A and B are shown apart, each in its own frame.
Chain A
């Protein structure tokens, strides 16, 4: 006598079962009320009419292996009974969560694919408790994860890809200006390369020209050295400060760029701008150096900025001036003097 036969004869007295097939091909049946606790199974039954017989078994997602399935159904079996008090459920949950990390991960994965949100919550919290308060190395040990971040990446926030066309335009403008500057200086330095000891404008120009690449390199290597040192301390506080120091020069650029329609994490841009800005700044520390060129660049940049419809002044040639900018052009500044105060 098959189950389904008996179900037809005495539906009130017989429990109905749902047939399920796990990833390894084994088929089992589970009480209906228990199985229906899982949204995934519920949908399958209601929408596709699956699970009514052995041949028509619901095939479960790959991540659900038999061991996890039985665990999940234990959970469902307990919780689907409406008569349980909240305290009972809490106590059960606490006990249920006592398992090793590997099983927790498997269980989370399985529960997620069955869309059993309360169980996912529970396991997530348990995993969070495991992670809490640990150093990265310890976490790696527990979860058997590879250490595949570079030193720099660990201490710098992620670089997001910039899709904003305005930023691309800005980049292009900078690239153009940079090329022009380089060309002009190359012309001049060809004449002055012999006069190494002369403290002249030309000398400084060639110095800049030679430094163009060095500026970027030294600042970057300074970055790396700093980071290596700081990383040994291993405190996040330090790394925050570190990035702050390094990015302080970029800060005004950051903020102005962020005002350009809310572009977030600009580290691609920032790196470019940083090296260019450093070049500009170093170049313009001494005002003898080609003020005409500086003027022109300033004007062009300003035009561009105005075209981008935000009032934005990039002060080149002076130490990071506080940058005030308005958003939406109606005079509302971002939270007062916070950024500005920091610069001072």
Chain B
């Protein structure tokens, strides 16, 4: 059942409220203060604005405007390039879609943020080397990282690279991502990193690296996943080892607005196949 078709039969105001409610449930604003999720949240905002800001109900417009402002206000605290590019994207969407007054307010906010950001990077002085930590501490730290960050860390320096090759890290990642659908023969000396890589390629799991969102069928909502699980405790207990279905930005936006746009990325065939029909509509 295509999302959005049911809405046409209902009165206009009820539809508006539904969008707003859905948006609030998405909790985009909460993610903005999270270093890791900030780019994802900004991308969602950009996509929503691009898709049809003018057609949105009035209160939803207000929410989006408020969240854009907070996104820009929080930008200086995010010192990643991903955050900066996400914010740039957002400001472009704002420039093209927002009405004049709101646009100016948002752009002022953005410019201030950029200035603050510049000030931060300038004051970043070269202080002495940080103490080197023992290898097993590194492994312990890496055990808390998601796949993307672990791969990033492996490219940082030689010692970090060695630390990331630790089998236990990849074993738990394998367990997290694949154990619910793969039976693997474990022999002594198994290279968990290779095993993980094989499964990753097999299942074309590139989503893992590019998604902060997942759909939880137990609470029937789109959430920011916490290590591939629903942040709610009850759902985690119910789902056991099964991770969430990961969702990309455009899928989230489609879910929110009941549209069927696809992503610009080249491997959107994957997404098109799964489509929106995997996620039941909000009635």
Residue ranges of A at the interface with B (Cβ–Cβ < 8 Å)? 63, 101-102, 105-106, 108-109, 112, 120-121, 124-125, 127-129, 131-141, 143-149, 153-154, 157-158, 160, 235-237, 239-241, 243-244, 254, 258, 261-265, 327, 332, 334-335, 338-339, 342
Contacts and interface: CB of A to CB of B under 8 A. Distances in A.
A105 B197 CA distance: 31
Given A112-B137, A120-B140, A145 B157 contact: yes
B189 A138 contact: no
Contact of B137 (A120, A129, A140): A120
B190 A262 contact: yes
A105 B131 contact: yes
A135 B82 contact: yes
B151 A236 contact: yes
Interface in B136-157: 137, 140-142, 144-149, 151-157
Contact of A102 (B127, B142, B183, B201): B127
Contact of B140 (A102, A124, A262): A124
| Majority secondary structure of chain A interface residues (helix, strand, loop or mixed) | helix
A138 B194 contact: no
Contacts of B270: none
A230 B184 CA distance: 30
Contacts of B147: 236
Interface in B66-81: 79-81
A318 to B, nearest CB: 22
B103 to A, nearest CB: 29
Contacts of A128: 141-142, 144-145, 149
A101 B157 CA distance: 18
11 contacts: A102-B130, A120-B137, A129-B144, A135-B80, A141-B124, A143-B156, A154-B154, A157-B194, A235-B209, A236-B152, A335-B185
Contacts of B155: 136, 149, 154
Interface residues of B, number: 57
B14 interface: no
B153 A139 contact: yes
B283 to A, nearest CB: 35
B81 A135 contact: yes
A124 B158 contact: no
A124 B141 contact: yes
B157 A262 contact: no
A134 B161 contact: no
B83 to A, nearest CB: 9
B149 A131 contact: yes
B11 interface: no
B198 A338 contact: yes
B35 interface: yes
B145 A335 contact: no
B152 A134 contact: yes
Contacts of A120: 137, 140
B194 A139 contact: no
Contact of A124 (B80, B130, B137, B157): B137
A142 to B, nearest CB: 8
Contacts of A143: 130, 156
Given A105-B130, A135-B81, A236-B209, A338 B202 contact: yes
Nearest to A106: B131
Contacts of A235: 209
Contacts of A240: 197, 200-201
B193 interface: yes
Interface string B111-149: 000000000000010110111011001001110111111
B157 A132 contact: no
Interface string B162-201: 1001000000000000000011110111110110011011
A63 B160 CA distance: 20
A339 B131 CA distance: 44
Contacts of B129: 144
Nearest to A145: B157
Contact of B149 (A109, A134, A327, A339): A134
B234 interface: no
B243 to A, nearest CB: 18
Nearest to B130: A105
B30 to A, nearest CB: 16
A267 to B, nearest CB: 10
Nearest to A131: B149
A117 to B, nearest CB: 10
A334 B183 CA distance: 9
A331 to B, nearest CB: 13
Contact of A108 (B36, B133, B149): B133
